[in-house]
Amino acid sequence: MTTTRTSGGATTLPRHSYTSPEIFERERQSIFRSRWICVGLAADIPEPGNYMLAEVAGDNLIVVRDRTGAIRAFHNVCRHRGTRLCENSSGMFGKHIVCPYHAWAYDLDGRLAAAPIMDEVEGFERADYPLHAAASALWEGLIFINLSPEPEPFESAFAPVIGKFTAWGLDRLAPAHRTEYEVAANWKLMVQNYSECYHCPSLHPALNKLTPFRNSGNDLTEGAILGGPMLLSSASESMTMDGRLCASTFGHLHGEQRKLVHYYVFFPSMFLSLMPDYAMVHRVIPRDFRRSTIVCQWLFDPETMRRPDFDATRAVEFWDMTNRQDWHICEQSQLGIESSAYTPGPYANLESMIAAVDREYLRALGRP
C-alpha cells in the first residue's frame, strides 16, 4: 500500500471544463462513446428475457439476457422508422422485442424475426435489418457497454483488476438496496470527490471516525482504474452507522484484509467500494454539463440475505448520509466554479488521485 503521495504540483482543471456545453459534448464523443461504461448488474437481469434500459452518452440502449443466457446490448431504436422499442425501464420480453408502432419483431439476439407486409417490398430482406448492437462485457457480476465501433478489448482495458477482487466473490453478490440521486453538478466533480479523503475530517466526521483519513493508500496510481485501501480504526469492523458488521465477513478475506476497505474509480463513471462484509457500486450518468444522476447499489452475499435476521439498514443509512454530504458539496463546488472569480487552485498531496484522474481525463480528450 503506497502511503507517500504527491500531487506533483498539479492544479484543478480550468473553469470551462465544468461549465462549457461544447466541452461536455466533446466528453460524450471522446470519452463516453469510446470507454467501457458500467450500466448495471447481471443480477438485475437474471433470467433469459429479462431486460433493463441504460443510457450512455445520450443514447438509450436495451440490455437483455438472450435465450442462451448471454447478455447483449442494442440501441433502443426500431430499424423501420426509428421508434423506441421499449418505454419501461426494466421488464421481461416474451418471445420477441416488438416495436409498438408497426409491430416489427426482433429476436433477443437482435435479428429481425418479423416485419408485417414487408414481403411486398421488392428486395426487402429481414437479415439486412438487425437491431444496432453495442459491445458488451461481463466482469465480476457487472455489465459494461462500449459504443465504439472498434472498442478496446475489455481484457486489455481491465487488465489491472482481472482477478484482483476474487476474495469478495463479487460475481455472486446480489443487490439489497438501490438509491438514485439527482445532483446539480458536473460529473467530474463526483469522480474527483470520490478520489480523495482530504475532505473527510470536515465533511464526513462519522466516516473519518471509522477510517481516519490518513489511514489510506493506493495500489493503482495511473491509468483508467485508480485507488486502493483504507485501514479501519481499531474499534471498527465495517462502514456502518455503528461501525459493526452487518453481515458475515467474506469468507476468503483473512488477516489484515478484514480490517481494510477498498475504493476504486473506474474512469470515467463507476466507483467500486469493498467492505469486509458487503460491496457497493456507484454509477455516474452525466445529463449535461451541470446535471448528473448517480445510481448507488449495496451488494451482499445471497446466503446472508436469506437469513431471517439480515438487515442492511445500518450500511445503507451510513452511505446514504455520506453520499448526500458528498453530492451537496459537489453542488456547492459547481456553483463556485461557475463564478467569474474562479481560478485553478493547487491540489494537496492527499489529492494525488485527483491529479491522476485529471491526467486520464485530459489524455482521453486528446490533450497533453
Structure confidence at residue 216 (pLDDT): 83
Reported in sequence order, the residue ranges of the chain that DSSP labels E, i.e. its strands, are: 37-41, 50-56, 59-65, 71-75, 90-92, 97-98, 105-106, 112-114, 133-139, 142-146, 174-183, 225-231, 260-266, 270-274, 279-288, 291-300
What is the C-alpha separation between 53 and 90, in angstroms, rounded? 6
Cα R_g (the chain), whole angstroms: 22
Structure confidence at residue 215 (pLDDT): 87
The grid cell for 81 is 422508422
Structure confidence at residue 2 (pLDDT): 45
pTM of the predicted model, to two decimals?
Answer: 0.95
**Residue 125 half-sphere exposure toward CB, CA atoms < 13 A:** 3
37-157: what CATH class? mainly beta
Taking the domains of the chain in order of start, what are their residue ranges?
Answer: 1-32+163-368, 37-157
What is the C-alpha separation between 308 and 199, in angstroms, rounded? 38
Structure confidence at residue 185 (pLDDT): 98
Structure confidence at residue 22 (pLDDT): 97
What is the C-alpha separation between 198 and 91, in angstroms, rounded? 42
The CATH homologous superfamily to which domain 1-32+163-368 belongs is: Naphthalene 1,2-dioxygenase Alpha Subunit; Chain A, domain 1 (3.90.380.10)
Residue positions counted in the chain: 368
State the 10-residue block means of pLDDT for the chain, 368 residues long. 69 97 97 98 97 98 97 98 98 97 98 97 98 98 97 97 96 97 98 96 97 91 96 97 96 93 98 98 98 98 95 98 98 98 96 96 87
What is the C-alpha separation between 66 and 93, in angstroms, rounded? 10
Structure confidence at residue 3 (pLDDT): 52
